[in-house]
Structure 1
Amino acid sequence: MTPEQRQRIIEILLSGGEVAPEWSRILFPPEKREYELVYQGKEREEDIIANTLAVPLQPVRTFNKNGVTWHNKLIFGDNLQAMKTLLEMKRRGELCNADGTSGIRLVYIDPPFATRQEFQGAQDQKAYQDKIYGATFIEFLRKRLILIRDLLSDNGLLYVHLDYRKSHYIKVILDEIFGEQNFMNEVAWCYGERELATRHWNRKHDNILVYAKNFKSDQHVFNWKEAAGQYSQGTLAKYEHIDEDGRKFQLRGRNVKGSPWRGKHGIPLDVEAANPEWVYRDYFDTKEGIRPRDWWSDIPFLNRASSDRYDYPSAKNPALLNRIIKVSSNIGDLVMDAFAGSGTTCAVAEKLNRRWIGIDCGKLAIYTIQKRMLNLSEKGKALKAKPFTLYNAGLYDFARLKELPWSDWRRFALTLFSCQSAPQRIGGIQFDGTLKASPVIIFDHRKGNGATVSEETLRSIHEAAGSKVGTRIFIIAPAMAFDFQQDYIQIGEVRYYALRVPYSIIHELHQRDFLALKQPTDEMAVNDTVDAVGFDFIKTPELEYAVGRGNPEGELLEQAFIRIDTFFSEAAVREPMRKRGNRETLSMVMLDYDYDAENDVFDLDEVFYAEAIEGAAWEVRFPANRPGEKVMAVFLDIYGNEARVVIPAAHFALEKLEKRNGSPIAKTEAKRA
């Protein structure tokens, strides 16, 4: 610290001001390194881990149950918070590989490449903002790489898929996190597409950086034969002879220097007959293939028409993940993708008999993966995925939570507010845990006779234990169980905090303000970085809609439509005071044209983004012949909340609808939450 910096800190403290977070690296410098990447907003590793909430995983639904104890995991939520929870599961011994090693064997991530740098203003301003955006992306990814390192098994591997835009920065960050000695390879995935550039070299490869948790131990899985290259036709032609068992071979000189036999057909068979001691048979079936290289040109880029794309932006070729997973994991090992996207990693891991964890903050990704896993096939043959559970992490359904058994509710409540479980009795009062070294009581809302937490309740606690517990006590309970509105009530020297589920957050208890898990409103935003903080609770949007069919202006074919008349929603916790206009919070509408009501499975067929819906007069339009018996429509808001409706196909039929403004309309209002 320089004398000037020291003096500035003193002035801030004497004036009663707050020390900005940027001072943390000066006051608490990180471990000295020979070099490191420095940029605005870079946090200490210790602060990242300490300030990341380990949000509980709330099961939503398990598919394909069969009685096994392990269920693969599909997690909707911010991957940073979800991985903090997974890290605690690892510490409890709940994440193990086929050989019993703790942690995740293989992590593959294909993070957003930080491409949306659209800013207004002068050129100099844009250049500066581009740097700020770049630093934000680097720190966004760095936080997640730190958690991934800790999640990996001691012999685990990480593959980070990038492109030319940020790979050089991320390489430096990875060296800092994993250690330069644990860098294994940079794989160049070369693919062929149309080559249109005439003012620069056509960009035809991605960069995949490979790191080991502990490379020098040489314990990592690397099944190289799974990626052995094919021999060229010229090499194959040399094995021109066939023995009595049908095995191909070529003759090679024994203890012969140089190449005394040269020619188009190699050593002839009569040499073996005349002088067998001079030659030996080199059989083709003993060859293991060409040793794998870090330059892959045999896996093409998925074109837009490919069925493996699932209409998802940035979907990767399954052959790419097939190679990575086969080489760097064994059957039964754990494979994770923290930016799961279209679910290629999950689907390939499933087919290769690996266990998997997929995390994504987008509902479109979650429904795409759900559809993919429920419709698996291999070479045209249908496959049934092993059991997998869909979880919410950071966005919860309180209606389900309040029905949990007491032990599960207690565990959830403690985890939700980052409390430590520490049951104890003080002054005859049962405490359940601690938060910031202060005791926590979890109120049993299931008690009969309308039991509530009132000021009298707090005074009773204070009389029994107040003088023995310090200056703070936290009480966790459903919001309706509190008889007072304040965040805390002061009794003597003790402050009693009300931690309400689900409606309020005491922001002074957290290092960061809570940020919403935003959903995209157009296709270009699907792969934007999302850095959510904290948690929220599902609050079903208010929805009014109309359905019908007709011929839009300029269209020859008749179309069915769903018109959105009213759509209001809000974040229950993260933006409680923000009121938005009609349809302002709409993210997208997802349709299942032939909804399976019997099994209650939403099978995503098509997605319509809010930007396009607005441009079509707030109508979702599709061919009139698409609906089966029933259509399920999922109206998603920007916070991840859903309004779901099932529309019988008959409602789109002309004879079933009334006329309004020359168009057949059927009007419906969804139930409000």
Structure 2
Amino acid sequence: MLEALPDAPPPLWHAGAPSTVVLGDNLEVVAGLPDRSFRLIYLDPPFNTGRTQTRRSTTSVRTEGGAGSVIGFGGRSYERIKGDLLRYDDRFDDYWEFLEPRLIEAWRVLADDGTLYLHLDYREAHYAKVLLDALFGRESFLNEIIWAYDYGAKTKNRWPAKHDTILVYVKDPASYYFDSAAVDREPYMAPGLVTPEKAELGKLPTDVWWHTIVSPTGREKTGYPTQKPEGVLRRIVQASSAEGDWVLDFFAGSGTTGAVADALGRRFLLVDSNPAAVGVMRERFAATAPGIRFTE
């Protein structure tokens, strides 16, 4: 009599799962996710600090055609563009070898009508823009959002750097989801130049977002050093997902993406390799979203 084989372990994530936080290596976790599963992906990776990252052997393959076959800037292939750029800066070479396979996986799991938001600072945005043009296709570039703030130390020997860049790419430029009507409006900077009705309604945000950082004494503060404000994520989630959609963030940090997604009726998958980050998320979600599943 044949012995019954043990049941296969359940997948770490599936479309019917509850909102989930995973402690683990994000590349390994995302590599196990199904294709085209998430309408919205927000990534806030660690900025390039010059530290050498562990390199992984990767093959740049897109589901529909190899990335090396994607024609980018000046008609050159993805691998050619990558090679040319990486020769400029050895530190960036290390950083991109860390980030590139994760972006390839993000492209794979992004739904056909989905959008990727990649949050970077001024040191990396220009490199990433050209490389993402080649990886996603230049026609898939949607926006460069500037998040401007005015807080912290100020230098007197150059213009103080007070902004981050959020690069926005869509999977299919012919059919991506974007709902501007769902986005919270903001006051006009010169309300006297528009009608009273328009001034009362407010205007849609542009690609320049003036928003303070997380206040050291505000209700949002978790103590996590790279925490981003809920107001910035709120615009992203409102515009590029609908109620009931899945949102993915695999550099989850303090869990702001999940907090906003949950408040707006979306489901989320958050991944972080730092136990301290997952501890912050446990505490953050305990009162507001007690049904979240934590796993590793």
Matched residue of 2:45: which SS? Answer: coil
Indicate how the Cα distance of structure 1 residues 386 and 223 shifts in structure 2: closer, same or farther if over 3 A, else same. Answer: farther
Is the contact made by 2:179 and 2:240 (CA closer than 8 Å) also made in structure 1?
A: yes
Matched, 1:315 2:227: yes
Could you state the TM-score of these two structures normalised by the residue count of structure 2?
0.77
Q: Which amino acid aligns with 1:301?
A: I
For residues 41 and 124 of structure 2, what CA distance do their matches in structure 1 show? 19
User: Is the 1:57–1:391 Cα contact (8 Å) retained in structure 2?
Assistant: no
Shift of 1:173: 1.8
Identity of matched residues, %: 35
Amino acid of the residue matched to residue 296 of structure 1? W
Q: 2:39 aligns with which of 90, 105, 124?
A: 105
Shift of 1:290: 2.6
Contact 2:125 2:165 (C-alpha < 8 Å) held by counterparts: yes
* Structure number with larger C-alpha Rg: 1
1:223 to 176, 180, 193: 180
Partners of 1:350 and 1:386 within 8 A in 2: no
Checking the alignment, whether the CA contact within 8 Å between 2:141 and 2:169 is kept in structure 1 is: yes
Partner SS for 1:112: coil
TM-fit CA distance, 1:58:
6.1
1:309 to partner: Cα distance: 2.8
CA distance in 2: counterparts of 1:315 and 1:203, whole angstroms: 18
Paired amino acid for 2:276: L
**Is 1:82 aligned with 2:15?**
no
Corresponding residue for residue 189 of structure 1: 147
Residues 83/56 of structure 1: CA separation in 2 closer, same or farther (3 Å cut): farther
Correspondent of 2:295 among 391, 415, 419? 391
User: Is 1:136 the equivalent of 2:69?
Assistant: no
1:71 match: 18
Give 1:177's aligned residue. Answer: 135
TM-superposition CA deviations, 1:360-380 (whole Å, max 9, x none): 00100111111111122xxxx
- In structure 2, C-alpha distance between the alignment counterparts of 1:70 and 1:181, rounded to whole Å: 33
Check whether the contact 1:221–1:330 (CA below 8 A) recurs between aligned residues: no
Using the TM superposition, give the Cα deviation of residue 194 of structure 1 relative to its aligned residue in structure 2, in angstroms.
3.9
Offset at 1:223? 2.6
For structure 1, the residue ranges without an aligned partner over 5 or more in a row are 1-54, 60-68, 91-101, 119-129, 240-283, 377-384, 393-673
Write out aligned runs for 1:337-348 (5 A).
Answer: 337-348=249-260
Alpha-carbon RMSD: 2.6
Deviation for aligned residue 1:328: 0.9
How many residue pairs get aligned? The number is 251
Whether the aligned pair in 1 keeps the contact of 2:191 and 2:199 (CA below 8 Å) is: no
Match of 1:290 in 2: 203
Q: 1:305 to 1:57 in 2, by over 3 A?
A: farther
Give the deviation of 1:218 after TM superposition: 3.6
Q: Residues 57 and 312 (structure 1 numbering): CA distance in 2 closer, same or farther, change over 3 Å?
A: farther
| Shift in CA distance, 224/207, structure 1 to aligned 2, threshold 3 Å | farther
SS in 2 for 1:86: coil
1:234 to 161, 184, 192: 192
| Structure 1 equivalent of residue 6 of structure 2 | none
1:324 to 202, 226, 236: 236
Please give the alpha-carbon distance, in whole angstroms, between the structure 2 residues aligned to 1:116 and 1:339. Answer: 19
What does 1:467-482 correspond to in 2, within 5 Å? Answer: none
Please tell me whether the aligned partners of residues 40 and 247 of structure 2 are also in contact (alpha carbons under 8 angstroms): yes
Larger helix proportion of the pair: 2
Residue 120 (structure 2) aligns with? 162
On the 8 A contact 2:48/2:95 being kept in 1, the answer is yes
Q: CA deviation at 1:73?
A: 1.3
CA distance in 2, matches of 1:386, 1:222: 29
Distance 1:375 1:387, change over 3 A: closer
1:430-453, Cα deviation, whole Å (9 max, x unpaired): xxxxxxxxxxxxxxxxxxxxxxxx
Distance in structure 2 (CA, Å) of the matches to 1:328 and 1:79? 22
Q: Which has the higher contact order (CA 8 A, sep 6+)?
A: 2
User: How has the CA–CA distance of structure 1 residues 105 and 198 changed in structure 2, closer, same or farther, with 3 Å as cutoff?
Assistant: same
TM-fit CA distance, 1:305? 3.2
How many Å separate the matches in 1 of 2:198 and 2:134? 45
In structure 2, do the counterparts of structure 1 residues 286 and 197 end up closer, same or farther at CA, with 3 Å as the change threshold?
closer
Deviation of 1:333 (Å): 0.6
SS of structure 1 residue aligned to 2:49: coil
Q: Distance in 2 between matches of 1:83 and 1:336?
A: 10
Matches within 5 A, 1:446-465: none
Q: Which has the higher strand share?
A: 1
Letter in 1 for 2:31: K
CA distance in 1, matches of 2:10, 2:251: 19
Aligned 8 A contact 2:141 2:170 in 1: yes
Give yes or no for contact 2:178–2:241 (8 Å, CA) kept in 1. Answer: yes
1:171-222 deviations in Å (ceiling 9; x for gaps): 122112110110001000000114520111100100000000011x144223
Amino acid at match of 1:319: G
* Equivalent residues of 2:111, 2:171 under 8 A apart: yes
Which amino acid in the other structure matches residue 160 of structure 2? N
Secondary structure class of the residue paired with 1:150: helix
Change in 2 beyond 3 A, CA 1:326/1:164 = same
Provide the residue aligned with 2:72 in structure 1: none
- Where structure 2 has 5 or more consecutive residues not aligned to the other structure, the ranges are 1-8, 53-87
> Could you say what secondary structure the match of 2:214 adopts?
coil
2:108 pairs with one of 115, 131, 150: 150
